[in-house]
């Protein structure tokens, strides 16, 4: 029942290791550092993580709770709402999403004017929605681990972005990490 944890945790670890573009580029040179980041994220981390989630989804497991139509409706709402910043963030970032570089420019417009990590913010909502849609033990564990991983990954990326983009420190002070402010700072 717990075999889904192997690809899931390997995927999280490898995708987490992809957050060090600046360090890899210093150690191995810029092209090799960018290649290492891309391989860790796109060809190892994300596929393994998704495989772990799929195994958890299809694994017969005890229910965490009895989900009725209200839980399913809220689950679909959260997955749908979470998909918007998830997709929008990828579209706005473009190529640096899959192939980060030490020469990337800081993106401060569109959805990134409201939150620093819209892709991860959407992922957090999708994780909660996933548990409501399929409230099994394995999905609950996978989504809880995914939720924690998204928070840790955002922090790891911020450490890297502070090294690659000097203006990122000011951006961090002005724009919240995951939840947009209901009011603008003066």
Distances (CA, A) of 87 to 17, 80, 96, 166: 23, 11, 14, 26
Please give the Cα distance from 85 to 131 (Å, whole number): 19
What is the tens place of the pLDDT at every residue in 80-139? 999 999 999 999 988 767 777 777 788 999 999 999 999 999 999 999 999 999 999 999
CA-wise closest residue to 8 among 141, 118, 122: 141
pTM of the model: 0.92
The tokens describing 122, both together, are: 């959407």
Please give the Cα distance from 123 to 153 (Å, whole number): 12
Does residue 8 or residue 105 have the better pLDDT? 8
The tokens describing 56, both together, are: 């958890």
What is the tens place of the pLDDT at every residue in 43-74? 999 999 999 999 999 999 999 999 899 999 99
**What is the number of other CB atoms lying within 10 angstroms of the CB of residue 139?**
24
What is the tens place of the pLDDT at every residue in 16-47? 999 998 899 999 998 999 999 999 999 999 99
**Is the pLDDT assigned to residue 150 strictly greater than 60?**
yes
Domain chopping of the chain, boundaries: 5-174
């Amino acid at each position: 029942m717990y075999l889904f944890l192997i690809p899931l945790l390997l995927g999280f670890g490898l995708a987490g290791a992809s957050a060090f573009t600046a360090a890899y580029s210093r150690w191995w040179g810029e092209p090799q550092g960018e290649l290492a980041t891309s391989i860790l994220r796109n060809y190892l981390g994300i596929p393994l993580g998704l495989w772990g989630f799929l195994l958890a989804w299809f694994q017969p497991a005890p229910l965490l709770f009895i989900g009725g139509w209200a839980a399913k409706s809220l689950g679909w709402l959260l997955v749908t709402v979470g998909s918007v910043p998830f997709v929008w963030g990828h579209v706005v970032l473009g190529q640096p999403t899959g192939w980060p570089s030490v020469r990337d420019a800081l993106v401060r417009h569109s959805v990134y004017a409201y939150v620093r990590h819209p892709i991860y913010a959407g992922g957090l909502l999708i994780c909660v929605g996933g548990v409501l849609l399929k409230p099994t033990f394995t999905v609950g564990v996978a989504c809880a681990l995914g939720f924690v991983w998204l928070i840790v990954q955002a922090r790891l990326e911020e450490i890297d972005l502070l090294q690659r983009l000097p203006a990122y420190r000011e951006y961090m002070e002005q724009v919240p990490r995951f939840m947009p402010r209901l009011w603008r700072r003066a």
